[in-house]
DNA sequence: AGTGATAGATAGTAATCAATTACTATCTTT
DNA sequence: AAAGATAGTAATTGATTACTATCTATCACT
């Protein structure tokens, strides 16, 4: 008798599914990741997916949840260990780049969701993630201004937008070059510029 | 007898097609703009499109060509009129934001193309556009350093990446808010931060 | 008026997609 | 060890896609 692989629990299967999607997003356009492709990557038939998720959209929803939890947890951990607001910003920057380097599919999924016209739950979760991220940055920036570490006249929102934009610029470059390693390499230089934009002159 | 609209020339039809695509991209995910939707927007049947274009991909190709020509022409015109490299950078920034404000579908198309896995001609054209853009920025930045207007130790590539990233950050915010007007309003503040990152201290 | 070329409409094809169904294999509980 | 619940398969559904073949209407030019 052929030995068959043991069944995974529902929770494990959901986890594996999310990872398969993020994996695939690193290689191909998130917009045309099919349920068939996800199942194939997991070594399972396409129909099996619908035993754990009622629809494809709830799969994407689980992906966004996964991303939100992990990314924000990393950012929080990184900033908590920092000595100063500016140090926290740098730690957050590094942690974010590190996270993306490990999961290159993440920014692609995020942007892909934001592009969608329909108001799917997954899209709203992506918006919420970025909003929460922005709040955290806003707090650090405000604190940095209070301590005199950042320019007093700094526009908080613009500074937060630039922070995310700086990362996005790097992501775009790596997307064009098709080279994820470039991300880690050019991150310090990029943050140095950002720092110069917001740091108070001594 | 019913009066029928006059036929357009092949060239005109191609132009109208491109504009229809960019129009649609402002409203929906570029990834699922169908040839049927394009034709409908033009007031033409779906099959008629394939009289002027051999495939959907050549349509996207024409779109990227249209974007490249117009955007770079605007940038060149804006920078040519500027008195100094830093002034030219600001003029380019404003011109770019203005262009996107008029055609909100453009950055979405661009990013959508860059996301694609296949090495389509349209994707390569998107890459070429950004590359050429980067070269122009690089020249301005180098000149700015020579004139002592920008920090002498500035990393040219990082500065060019941050320039594009700054714009992308704004685009992303407007994408999240679903509000294009926000772009023009927050552009000056964003460039002020960029300027601070690259400008030489007096 | 008549001719040839072009533009467009209509009605398809084959492929692909998400989702569903009917069924089977495995695990868990008692 | 039996029974019920859970996890899986294989085949199929209906919708949608890019693309094509065929036919008709209109144009420019004599």
Q: Which pLDDT does position A25 carry in this prediction?
A: 94
CA angle B146, B93, A194 (to 5 degrees): 70
> Which DSSP category does B81 fall into?
T
In whole angstroms, what is the distance from residue B161 CA to residue A60 CA? 30
Contact between B125 and B68 under an 8 Å Cβ cutoff? The reply is: yes
A72-88: string of b/e by CB count within 10 Å (b at 16+)? eebbeebbeeeeebbbb
Residue written as token pair 């052929």: A2
**Which nucleotide is closest, CA of B44 to its C1'?**
C8
Is pLDDT of A191 > 60?
yes
Mean pLDDT of all residues in chain A?
Answer: 92
CA dihedral defined by B91, B97, B100, B102, rounded to 10 degrees? -80
Question: Looking at beta carbons, which residues of chain B come within 8 Å of A57?
Answer: none
Helix (H) or strand (E) holding A144: helix A121-146
Q: Could you report the per-residue pLDDT of B16-30, keeping only the tens digit for each?
A: 999 999 999 998 889
Mean pLDDT across A162-169: 97
**Which nucleotide is closest, CA of A5 to its C1'?**
C26
> Which DSSP category does A5 fall into?
P
In whole angstroms, what is the distance from residue A183 CA to residue B3 CA? 60
Q: Which pLDDT does position A13 carry in this prediction?
A: 80
Residue whose C-alpha is closest to residue A81's, from A94, A70, A67: A94
* Distance from chain centroid for Cα B72: 9
**Which nucleotide is closest, CA of A42 to its C1'?**
D8
Interface contact flag, B161 A169, Cβ < 8 Å: yes
Tokens at B146, concatenated: 């020579």
Interface contact flag, A193 B192, Cβ < 8 Å: no
**Exposure of A39 in the CB half-sphere (CA atoms within 13 A):** 14
Contact between B147 and B153 under an 8 Å Cβ cutoff? The reply is: no
Q: Which residues contact A122 (CB under 8 A, 6 or more apart)?
A: A57, A60, A61, A63, A64, A113, A116
Phi, psi of A199 (to 5 degrees): -75, 145
Q: Which one of A28, A173, A197 has the shortest CB-CB distance to B161? A: A173
The SS3 assignment for B199 reads strand
Interface contact flag, A162 B193, Cβ < 8 Å: yes
Q: Which of A75-79, A159-163, B47-51, B197-201 has the lowest mean pLDDT?
A: B47-51
CA angle A38, A43, A49 (to 5 degrees): 50
**Which residue's CA shows the smallest distance to C1' of D16?**
B34
Q: Could you report the per-residue pLDDT of B86-120, keeping only the tens digit for each?
A: 999 999 999 999 999 999 999 999 988 888 878 88
Task: Find the radius of gyration of the CA atoms of chain B.
Answer: 19
In whole angstroms, what is the distance from residue A59 CA to residue A11 CA? 13
Contact between A96 and A86 under an 8 Å Cβ cutoff? The reply is: no
Q: Which pLDDT does position A100 carry in this prediction?
A: 97
In whole angstroms, what is the distance from residue B108 CA to residue B152 CA? 35
Q: Which pLDDT does position A5 carry in this prediction?
A: 56
Residue written as token pair 């997916």: A49
B43 in contact with nucleic chain D (CB within 7 A) = no
Q: What is the pTM of this model?
A: 0.92
Q: Which one of A161, A193, A196 has the shortest CB-CB distance to B170? A: A161
Interface contact flag, A197 B201, Cβ < 8 Å: no
In Å, what is the CA distance from B86 to each residue of A155, A161, B133, B137? Answer: 21, 22, 16, 10
Q: Could you report the per-residue pLDDT of A35-84, keeping only the tens digit for each?
A: 999 999 999 999 999 999 999 999 999 999 999 999 999 999 999 999 99
The SS3 assignment for A150 reads strand
Helix (H) or strand (E) holding B12: helix B10-25
Contact between A139 and A165 under an 8 Å Cβ cutoff? The reply is: no
Q: Which pLDDT does position B176 carry in this prediction?
A: 86
Strand C bases contacted by the protein (CB, 7 Å): 6-11, 16-22, 25-27
* Site from A24, A165, A185 to mutate, B interface, most B CB atoms within 10 angstroms: A165
Is pLDDT of B83 > 60?
yes
Percent of chain A at pLDDT exceeding 70 = 96
Residue ranges in B51-198 assigned as alpha helix (H): 56-80, 85-102, 105-115, 121-146, 156-177, 181-198
A57 in contact with nucleic chain C (CB within 7 A) = yes
Tokens at B166, concatenated: 């700054």
Interface contact flag, A30 B115, Cβ < 8 Å: yes
**Exposure of A149 in the CB half-sphere (CA atoms within 13 A):** 14
């Amino acid at each position: 008798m052929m030995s068959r692989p043991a069944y995974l629990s529902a929770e494990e299967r959901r986890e594996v599914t999310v990872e398969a999607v993020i994996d695939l997003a690193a290689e191909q356009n998130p917009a045309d990741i099919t349920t068939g492709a996800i199942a194939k990557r997991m070594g399972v038939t396409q129909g099996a997916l619908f035993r754990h998720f009622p629809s494809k959209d709830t799969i994407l929803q689980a992906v966004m949840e996964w991303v939100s939890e992990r990314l924000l947890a990393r950012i929080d951990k990184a900033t908590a260990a920092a000595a100063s607001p500016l140090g926290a910003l740098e730690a957050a920057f590094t942690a974010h780049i590190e996270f993306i380097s490990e999961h290159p599919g993440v920014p692609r999924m995020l942007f892909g969701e934001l592009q969608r016209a329909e108001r799917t739950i997954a899209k709203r979760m992506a918006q919420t993630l970025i909003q929460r991220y922005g709040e955290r940055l806003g707090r650090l920036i405000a604190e940095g201004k209070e301590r005199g570490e950042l320019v007093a006249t700094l526009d908080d929102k613009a500074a937060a937008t630039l922070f995310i934009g700086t990362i996005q610029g790097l992501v775009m470059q790596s997307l064009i070059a098709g080279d994820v390693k470039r991300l880690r390499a050019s991150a310090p230089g990029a943050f140095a510029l950002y720092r110069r934009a917001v740091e108070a002159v001594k």
